[in-house]
Structure 1
Amino acid sequence: MFTGLNAFPLTPLCDDVFQQDAYARLVTQLSTAGVDSITALGSTGSYAYLDREERRLVADTAVQAAGSTPVMVGIGALRTSRVQALAEDAQNAGASGVLLAPMSYQTLTEDDVFGLYEDVTAGLSVPLVVYDNPGTTHFTFSDELYARIGTLPNVTSIKIPGLPTVPDEARARVDAIRSLVPEHVTVGISGDSAAATGLNAGCEVWYSVIGGTLPALALTITRAAQAGDTAAADAESQRLQPLWEMFAAHGSLRVTATIAEHLGLVPPASLPRPIRGLKVAARTRVAHLVEDLDLRN
């Protein structure tokens, strides 16, 4: 579950209501495509915008729709007690693991974050992925904090944000992180434009935004890297450079939602307000990319 492709599906809303049927189809598509695992309620799944009951329903739906594919569930929240309640809900839904980002309004210290993971893992019976995403949480993990958290019970993987673009430097960075954490803790790459670099540098898993909507595309990169064909993984990522540029300009969530809406996988205006979709010119550009880059499963 902590190797290969972990796909993050959107959580589609329409008029502020969770679209359960559309979501179930997204998750089933991922399982059918052969992704290695699925994360419900990751950042791409807009977890921070949903209340506990909505998140419980999403978790239940994901586990049921995924069949035999393992499902992890995001449990991030502002207060530790709420994270613990969400962890209980995820486990009750049958999740194979949980994903935790340190959410905050006030700036968190390293002791705050370590304490969060210490408190939550103490009550877990499933593995936990440490979600380091400073772009959304505005908290940056130090290597020392990776090392401290990696020793906690049930911590099984760390999702790191990006890597140097030079292959030797990327591998050195992955090796440095791996040297700090226990052997059973995998290192996963996020930031889709960096996925090929990360996998080729030795990351065991890709925590993927685009994989949650276009799994075949993401699997092409993942399987090439796993087979040791670094050139093929790099070539496919380079082919997708116009898509990565759209991610950088507009955010991966908005662009991925636009792709899913364009392909009829989710209803229009599927993002939680106040997040608005792309404007007409950008939506048109995304539609052209879908055709030009053959972004269809």
Structure 2
Amino acid sequence: MNRLNLHLVSDSTGETLEMIAKAALAQFDNPTVSRHFWPMVRSLQHLDRIVPELAAHPGLVFYTLVNPDTRTRLEEHCRMLGLPAVPVLDQVTAALEAQLGQAAQGRPGRQHMMDENYFKRVEAIQYTIAHDDGLAHEDWEEADILLVGVSRSSKTPTSIYLANRGYKVANIPLVVESPPPQTLYRLRHPLVVGLTTSPERLIQIRRNRLLSLNEATETAYVDNDKVKAELQFARRLFGDNGWPVIDVTRRSIEETAAAIIRLAQDRDRKPASEGGTGKPI
């Protein structure tokens, strides 16, 4: 009963369907799930070609199909095969139709249209990659968010995640022996956020990094006292400048990014004179 064939049938890229399935499965303890992914199913002929796979691997079918003929054909096949089929977006779409007073357009892949938001996201990704690890500090004023923290405090992956949400992000590593450029203290537009973590967690991550590079693991980079001094230096800098601080010790990249987005949205609603506290959140 802990095994499942999960068929994901989409008329677009299937990204939304995969995220919904992943979020739902996360609520269960170590289920054994074989995912069968069927994207870009936009014709009856294409749908009919995957039916033998549904029969060969019976299980649960999640689908996002907006074309009524394709939906009906899939539902008919699932009934004949005795497979439960779940239209995962139907309730959400129906609620929106009721509140907005209009019918959904029923066009597949509309969320992936190359509109203004799409090009904004592409620009944000390009900017973020070009301003990783302290690069191009002369352009930091163009950033929406600037992340500051010691080495291996999740700055880069968090930056890339935020860029995919449309935020231009720069990040800078803090090194005790090499103070950051003065540009950092003169910024007006970007939200500057400090990232911190526990010494134990940071040492573990750094050791794993050194091992992956086949380098010696007994260096100042992972020395307990040195690491604590780095983190204290960073915390003082955050506090002196009133930057908001996020402790990433027990946070995933997604959770850290969500906290940063909330800070950015809160700042947009506040007068410019109100700053951060320098305390971890």
Interval containing the TM-score (normalised by the shorter chain): under 0.3
- Please say which structure displays the higher CA radius of gyration: 2
Structure 1 length normalisation: TM-score?
0.27
Structure 2 length normalisation: TM-score?
0.28
